Structure 1
Amino acid sequence: MATAPRHEAYGPARTASPVLVGRESELESLTATLSEQPAVAMIEGEAGVGKSRLLRELLNRPPLRTLRIMLGRCQSLREPFLYGAVIEALGGLAHPPVPPSLARNRLNPVTGVLRALLPELSAYLPEAPEPTGDPRSERHRLFRAVRELLSGIGPALLVIEDLHWADDGSRHLLRFLMSDLPRNLSIVVTYRREDVPGGVPLGSAYRPPPGAASVLVNLRPLDRSQVRVLAAALLGRSISTRFAGKLYERTAGIPFVVEETLLALRDSAGGGRATRQLLENVEVPVLLREAMAERLTGMPLPAVRLAQAAAVLETPVDAGLLSEVAGLTERRCHEALASALGNGVLYEIDECSYGYRHSLARQAVYDTLPGYDRQRLHARALRALEHRVPKPVVRMAEHSHHAGDVALALRYGERAADLAAQVGDVSAATGLLQRLLGYPGLSPRDVDRLAVKLGQVAHAGLDQYDPVATLERLLSDPRLSTAARGEVRLFLGMLLVRQIGGLEAGRAVIETALDELGERPHLLARGVSVLAQPFYGTAPLPQVLRWRERLLELISNCKGELRLSLLANHLSSLMQTGDPDVLRELASLSPPSPMSTGEQRQLARVHCNMADACTCVGHHEQARSLLQTGLRLAIDSGAPFVVSTARATQTRLAWFLGDWNGLAERATDLLDEYHDLFPVASELSLVLGSLAIVRGDWEEAEERLSATGVASPHDAITPVVLGGFAGLARLRLAQGENALALAEIDRGLTVARSKGVWSWTGELVPVAVAVLVEGGRTDDARELTRELEKNIEGRDAPMAAAGLEMARACLAMASGDPASALAGYERAGERYRALPAPYYAALAAEQAALCRMDRGGAEAARATEELSALADEFAAMGAPRDADRCRYRLRSHGTVKPSRRGRRGYGDVLSPREQDVARLLAKGRTNREIAQALFLSPRTVEQHVARTLKKLGKQSRTDLLDD
Structure 2
Amino acid sequence: MLYGRAAEQDRIHQLLSRAREGVSSALVIHGEAGIGKTALLGYAADAASPGRVLRTVGIETEMELAFGGLHALLTPVADRVDRLPEPQAAALKAAFGLSGAVVRDRLALGVAVLSSLSQAADGGSLLCLIDDAQWLDQASLDALTFAARRLRGEGVVMLFALRDSVPGGQITGLPRLRLQGLDSASADALLTGHVADLSPNARDQIVEQAQGNPLALLELPAALTVEQRAGRVNPVTLPAGPASPTSRIQETFQEQLRRLPDATRSMLLVAAADDSGDLDLVLRASTRFGATLEDLEPAERARLVLLADNTLSFRHPLIRSVTYQDTPLARRLAAHRALADAWGDTMAGEQQADRRAWHLAAATTGTDEDVADAMVGVAQRAGGRQGTASASAAYERAAQLTTVPARRAKLLASAAFTSAEAGQFHRTAALTDRINALALDPAMLADFARVRAIVELDRGTPHQATRILLACADRLGSSADLAPVLAEAVATAQSSGDRSLMTEVAARIPASSEHSIARAMADPGGSDTGYPTGLTPAQDAGFAERILAGTYHRLIADHHTALQVAAACVRDCRDHDVVGWLPTSLHLLAEAQMYLGLHEEAGSTAAEGLALAERFGRNHRATYLRGTLAAHAALRGERDRCTGLSGVALRHADAHGIEQAGAHAHRALGLLDLGLGQAESALEHLEAARARVEHPVLSAFLLPDLVEAAIRAGQPDRASGPVLALTAWAQATGRPAAVALARRCQAMTAPDDATEQHFTTALRLHGRSSAQPFERARTELLYGEWLRRERRRTDARHQLHGALETFEELGALPWAARARTELQACGGAADLDSPTNTRFGRLSPQEREVVRLAATGATNREIAAQLFLSPRTVGHHLYRAFPKLGISSRTELPQVLLRDDAPADL
TM-score, length-scaled by structure 1: 0.68
Aligned residues: 795
The Cα of 1:788 is off from its aligned counterpart by 3.0
Indicate the percent of aligned positions where both proteins have the same amino acid.
16
Counterpart of 1:766 in 2: which secondary structure?
helix
Given that 2:33 and 2:163 are in contact with CA atoms closer than 8 Å, whether structure 1 keeps it comes out as no
Which residue of 2 is the match for residue 847 of structure 1? 782
Specify every segment of 5 or more residues in structure 2 that has no aligned partner in the other structure, as ranges: 831-906
1:866 aligns with 2:800: yes
Distance 2:770 2:653 in 1: 26
Partner of 1:617: 556
Per the TM alignment, residue 165 of structure 1 is displaced from its structure 2 partner at its CA by 0.8
5 Å-filtered alignment, 1:233-632, equals 248-249=207-208, 251-255=210-214, 289-299=247-257, 300-302=259-261, 307-313=268-274, 316-318=277-279, 321=282, 324=286, 327=289, 329-330=291-292, 333-339=295-301, 341-342=303-304, 346=305, 352-355=311-314, 357-358=316-317, 362-363=320-321, 366-372=324-330, 374-390=332-348, 391-394=352-355, 396-397=357-358, 400-401=361-362, 403-407=364-368, 409-420=371-382, 425-438=387-400, 442-444=403-405, 446-447=407-408, 450=411, 453-454=414-415, 457=418, 462-463=423-424, 466-467=427-428, 470-471=431-432, 473-475=434-436, 480=439, 484-498=440-454, 499-500=457-458, 501=460, 503-517=462-476, 521-524=479-482, 527=485, 535=494, 537=496, 538-539=498-499, 546-552=507-513, 555=514, 582-584=532-534, 601-602=540-541, 609-629=548-568, 631-632=570-571
Residue 224 (structure 1) shift: 2.7
Shift of 1:835: 4.9
How does 1:763-778 map onto structure 2 within 5 Å?
Answer: 763-772=701-710, 778=716
- The structural deviation recorded for 1:656 is 2.0
SS in 2 for 1:353: strand
Judge conservation of contact 1:85–1:170 (CA < 8 Å) in 2: yes
Matching residue of 2:177: 217
Q: 2:77 is matched with which residue?
A: 93
Give a deviation string over 1:37-96, Cα, whole Å, max 9, x none: 7865332112333334444566788xx98998654332232555312222333334347x
Shift of 1:179: 7.0
Structure 1 contact 689–702 (Cα < 8 Å) conserved: yes
Secondary structure of the structure 2 residue equivalent to 1:404: coil
Q: In structure 2, what residue type is equivalent to 1:769? A: V
What CA distance in whole angstroms lies between the structure 2 residues aligned with 1:670 and 1:308?
A: 41
CA displacement, residues 874-928 of structure 1 (integer Å, 9 cap, x when unaligned): 455344444556677789999999xxxxxxxxxxxxxxxxxxxxxxxxxxxxxxx
2: CA distance, partners of 1:421 / 1:711: 37
**Is residue 437–residue 450 contact of structure 1 (8 Å, CA) maintained in 2?**
yes
Residue 170 (str. 1) matches residue 164 (str. 2): no
Deviation at 1:743, TM superposition (A): 6.2
CA–CA distance in structure 1, aligned partners of residues 808 and 731 of structure 2: 36
Q: Offset of 1:850 from its aligned partner? A: 3.5
Other structure's SS at 2:170 match:
coil
Change in Cα spacing, 1:168 to 1:395, as seen in structure 2 (3 Å) is farther
Q: Deviations over 1:303-323 (max 9, x none)?
A: 655555444435645375277
The aligned counterpart of 1:42 is: 28
Look up the equivalent residue of 1:624 and give its one-letter code.
L
Q: Once the 2 structures are TM-superposed, how far is the Cα of residue 218 of structure 1 from its aligned partner?
A: 1.6
The alignment's C-alpha RMSD in Å is 5.3
Correspondence 1:161 to 2:99: no
Amino acid in the other structure paired with 1:23: E
Alignment correspondent of 2:170: 201
Measure how far apart 1:404 and its partner are: 0.9
Cα deviation per residue 1:701-732 (whole Å; 9 max; x = unaligned)? 3235427856666x66x5x5653443354467
Q: Give yes or no for contact 2:710–2:718 (8 Å, CA) kept in 1.
A: yes
Quick check: 1:573–1:613 contact (8 Å CA) kept in 2?
no
What code does the residue aligned with 2:561 have? Q
The 3-state SS of whatever aligns with 1:43 is strand
Please state how far the C-alpha of 1:809 moved relative to its aligned partner: 3.5
Per-residue CA deviation, residues 609-651 of structure 1 (Å, 9 max, x unaligned), is 5443323332223333444455556655666556554322212
Distance 1:176 1:496, change over 3 A: closer
Q: Is the 8 A contact 2:679 2:713 kept in 1?
A: yes
In 2: Cα distance, 1:468 partner to 1:24 partner: 42
1:112 to 75, 90, 112: 90
Q: Which position in structure 2 is the counterpart of 1:686?
A: 627
- Indicate conservation of the 8 Å contact 1:47/1:192, yes or no: no
2:647 to 703, 706, 716: 703
1:182–1:624 CA distance, 2 compared to 1 (3 A): closer
C-alpha distance in 1, partners of 2:414/2:571?
26
| CA 1:637–1:379: 2 relative to 1, 3 Å | closer
**Distance of aligned partners of 1:50 and 1:324 in 2 relative to their CA distance in 1, 3 Å threshold:** same
Q: Distance in 1 between matches of 2:374 and 2:62?
A: 49
**Residue 740 of structure 2, aligned match among 802, 810, 821:** 802
Q: Secondary structure at the match of 1:836?
A: coil
Once residues 798 and 708 of structure 1 are traced to their aligned partners in structure 2, the CA distance between those partners, rounded to angstroms, is 36
SS at match of 1:354: strand
Residue pair 1:874, 1:880 contacting (<8 A) in 2 also: yes
Structure 1 residues 252-301: Cα deviation after superposition (integer angstroms, max 9, x where no partner): 33345567899999xxxxxxx999789x9999999963321222114414
- Return the letter of the residue paired with 2:551: D
User: Using a 3 Å threshold, how does the CA distance of structure 1 residues 81 and 52 change in structure 2: closer, same or farther?
Assistant: same
Q: Are the aligned partners of 1:434 and 1:467 in contact in 2 as well (CA < 8 Å)?
A: no
Decide whether aligned partners of structure 1 residues 423 and 688 sit closer, same or farther in structure 2, where only a CA change above 3 A counts.
closer
Distance 1:872 1:295, change over 3 A: farther
Q: 1:275 to 1:670 in 2, by over 3 A?
A: farther
Supply the distance in 2 between the matched residues of 1:709 and 1:71 (Cα, whole angstroms): 54
Cα distance, 1:138 vs structure 2: 5.9
Q: Equivalences for 1:539-938 in 2 at 5 Å?
A: 539=499, 546-552=507-513, 555=514, 582-584=532-534, 601-602=540-541, 609-629=548-568, 631-632=570-571, 643-661=582-600, 663-675=602-614, 676=617, 680-693=621-634, 694-697=637-640, 698-706=642-650, 709=653, 722-730=663-671, 745-746=686-687, 748-750=689-691, 752=693, 754-757=694-697, 760-772=698-710, 778-812=716-750, 817=752, 824=758, 827-828=761-762, 831-832=765-766, 834-855=769-790, 858=793, 862=797, 866=800, 874=807, 876-883=809-816
Conserved in 2, the CA contact under 8 Å of 1:319 and 1:333? no
1:125 corresponds in structure 2 to none
Q: Which amino acid aligns with 2:644?
A: E
Report the residue type matching 1:696 in the other structure: R
Q: Which amino acid is 2:181 matched to?
A: P
- Cα displacement (A) at 1:807: 2.8
Report the more deviating stretch, 177-186 or 160-169: 177-186
- The separation in 2 between residues aligned to 1:880 and 1:275, in whole angstroms, is 45
Residue identity in the other structure for 2:436: L
Quote the Cα distance in structure 1 between the aligned partners of 2:601 and 2:9: 25
- Secondary structure in 1 aligned to 2:164? helix
Question: What TM-score comes out, normalization by structure 2 length?
Answer: 0.71
